């Protein structure tokens, strides 16, 4: 494989990150109708990330900082109700749809889990219908937890067939991940999933072997993975491997573009770095500041409890890098702020 695509995603939310081991829970991590994921594509051409993926254990570091942005285009995937996706009628147990391709069943309570019950293959007139669904998540799930599930079903393609296989999920690492641009996220839980399946019947005599390997990195307070590496190997006679990397953090926020250079140039913030009060100084009489908000490096909105449009207190914030979003009658300015 010569090239992997990485997607850097972000959700905005008011969350306080706790310095503790991440545990995936039904309330915090189960995908629900109304959720959305946004991401950018990143290029890993010429970069060997296998050695990074292979790192596991406690208090380790996964450094993906050498990857670079491939596109400025923002891609959004939304989780919908089955009633909003006509093809969901083929999967009667589905209660949440990822985009228009992945059909899930969430089960709540003591045995909370998420199962994949159907899949429409992107780019093909093909679909997988699970008679025995595959469990994609169990809750709660934390460091060193593991489980294996078997699955089977039917395939609709140019001709019909069947499939079966096994899937194993393991929380195989905790530590720190470094994303492109140097963004560092501590207290991350890494979940590795390996799925092996065989598809029979759609090509006469020859079975198709499919192997999926995912590395998902979760941070406290973020519903979906802050970073994911996904490999797909499809072997008919010889294997073909493709890859995609996605993430659920606002790393794109690190390189966010100014919405309006006039506004950005007119507004000065100081001191920077700051330890207590930050002043927002507007040098233009034509610009009226309407709102000021602060985001952390994960793209999470920080509650600062301030109504002032000329100064804000950052005393309660942990040391690190933040971003001021300043909304005005002329547009938006984004300012990078370092808290000492």
* Cα gap 222→300, rounded to integer Å: 9
Tell me, what's the pLDDT at 240? 52
* Ranges of the chain whose pLDDT falls below 70: 1-20, 40-47, 68-74, 121-125, 181, 236-262, 264-265, 297-299, 305
Question: Model's pTM, two decimal places?
Answer: 0.69
What are the tens digits of pLDDT across the range 168-198? Answer: 999 999 999 988 767 788 899 999 999 999 9
Tell me, what's the pLDDT at 215? 92
Count other C-beta atoms under 10 Å from residue 267's C-beta. 20
Tell me, what's the pLDDT at 160? 86
List of domains in the chain: 5-78+119-252 (no CATH), 256-339 (2.60.40)
CA atoms within 13 A on the CB side of 332: 11
Which SS3 state, helix, strand or coil, does residue 26 take? helix
Give the phi and the psi of residue 316 in degrees, each rounded to 5. Answer: -80, -10
Tell me, what's the pLDDT at 37? 80
Burial class (CB in 10 A: 0-12, 13-18, 19+), 226: buried
**Contacts for 176 with CB less than 8 Å, ≥ 6 apart:** 60, 61, 62, 184, 185, 186, 187, 188
Which residue carries 């140019």 as its tokens? Answer: 158
What are the tens digits of pLDDT across the range 225-250? Answer: 888 888 888 776 555 555 555 544 44
CA dihedral 273, 274, 278, 279 (to 10 degrees): -50
């Amino acid at each position: 494989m010569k090239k992997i695509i990485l997607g850097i995603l972000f959700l905005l939310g008011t969350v306080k990150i706790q310095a503790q081991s991440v545990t995936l829970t039904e309330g915090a991590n189960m995908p629900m109708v109304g959720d959305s994921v946004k991401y950018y594509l990143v290029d890993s051409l010429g970069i060997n990330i296998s050695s990074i993926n292979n790192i596991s254990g406690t208090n380790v570091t996964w450094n993906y900082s050498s990857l670079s942005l491939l596109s400025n285009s923002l891609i959004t995937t939304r989780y919908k109700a089955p009633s909003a996706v006509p093809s969901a009628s083929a999967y009667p147990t589905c209660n949440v749809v990822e985009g228009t391709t992945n059909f899930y069943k969430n089960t709540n309570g003591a045995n909370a889990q998420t199962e994949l019950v159907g899949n429409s293959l992107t780019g093909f007139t093909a679909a997988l219908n699970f008679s025995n669904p595959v469990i994609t998540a169990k809750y709660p799930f934390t460091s060193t937890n593991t489980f294996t599930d078997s699955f089977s079903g039917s395939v609709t393609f140019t001709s019909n067939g069947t499939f079966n296989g096994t899937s194993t999920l393991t929380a195989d690492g905790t530590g720190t991940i470094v994303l492109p641009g140097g963004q560092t996220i501590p207290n991350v839980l890494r979940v590795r999933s390996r799925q092996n399946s065989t598809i029979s019947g759609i090509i006469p005599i020859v079975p198709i072997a499919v192997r999926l390997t995912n590395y998902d990195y979760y941070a406290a307070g973020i519903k979906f993975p802050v970073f994911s590496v996904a490999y797909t190997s499809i072997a008919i006679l010889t294997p073909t491997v493709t890859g995609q990397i996605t993430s659920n953090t606002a790393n794109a926020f690190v390189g966010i573009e100014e919405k309006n250079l006039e506004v950005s140039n007119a507004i000065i913030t100081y001191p920077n770095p700051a330890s207590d009060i930050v002043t927002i100084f507007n040098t233009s009489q034509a610009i009226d500041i309407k709102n000021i908000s602060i985001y952390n490096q994960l793209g999470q909105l920080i509650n600062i409890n301030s109504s002032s449009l000329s100064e804000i207190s950052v005393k309660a914030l942990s040391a690190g890098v933040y971003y001021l979003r300043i909304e005005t009658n002329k547009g938006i300015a984004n300012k990078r702020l370092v808290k000492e």
